[in-house]
Amino acid sequence: MTATAALLAFTATAALLTVTPGLDTALVLRTAAAEGPRRAMLAALGIALGCLGWGLLVGAGLGALLAASQLAYEVLRWAGALYLFTLGLKLIRAPRQALDLPEGEAGKSAQPNWLLRGFLTNMLNPKVGVFYVSFLPQFIPAGASVLGWSVLLASVHNVLGLFWFAALVAATQPLLGALRRPGVMRWLDRLTGTLFVAFGLKLAFDARG
């Protein structure tokens, strides 16, 4: 497979994977609704940085270690599950009473660091690492730099993801009037929290494949 063919094949495959709903999509949509487009895109950027981090690890050979070492996998798996479970419980137990989009500088210090939250959501999920270490090598041409191509492919995946997240964020804006209703906001937080808890439990108890 030539470099061009490999890049085109990966781009097409990654595009399909990008639009498949998952934890990242839920995080960005919820943040767009509850915090506004700016913070949603910060979360999306954090998610992209997490993917790029895994791309660097895979290229450096640590992804292979994660795939081979049961202990390394288990430690990161349980750390990620605990993070998601805690985040989900917080949303379920203390949902927002109404949509609050602070204006100007007021209230910024009390807001979560969405860039960091998006980053941790991916970096603490070993499934992302195992996926990258099994998926990326299929599109690295023979004799090419593993590190360079891993970063390149992860970057392509991230660019596609950021465009997709931007489209999702834009789609939430016409719904902001409805989302400002207290009942809708509580429902959204609890639904998203339940989804995060479910992802956490799935991550904790899924048998390694």
Per-residue pLDDT of 115-125, as tens digits, reads: 998 898 888 87
Q: Are 113 and 47 in contact (CB under 8 A)?
A: no
The pLDDT, as a whole number, for residue 103 is 45
pLDDT in tens, 46-70: 999 998 998 888 888 866 776 677 7
Model confidence, pTM: 0.69
Query: Quick one: average pLDDT of 5-12?
Result: 88
Query: From the CB of residue 6, how many other CB atoms can be counted at a distance below 10 Å?
Result: 19
Domain residue extents for the chain: 3-10+45-100+112-205
Cα 179 to its chain centre, rounded Å, is 23
What burial class does residue 106 get, using C-beta atoms within 10 Å of its C-beta: 0-12 exposed, 13-18 middle, 19+ buried?
exposed
Residue 117 contacts residue 162 (beta carbons within 8 Å)? no
Task: Determine the Cα–Cα distance for residues 172 and 34; give it in Å rounded to an integer.
Answer: 10
pLDDT at residue 44 above 90?
Answer: yes
Task: Report helix, strand or coil for 35.
Answer: helix
How large is the average pLDDT for residues 19-34?
78
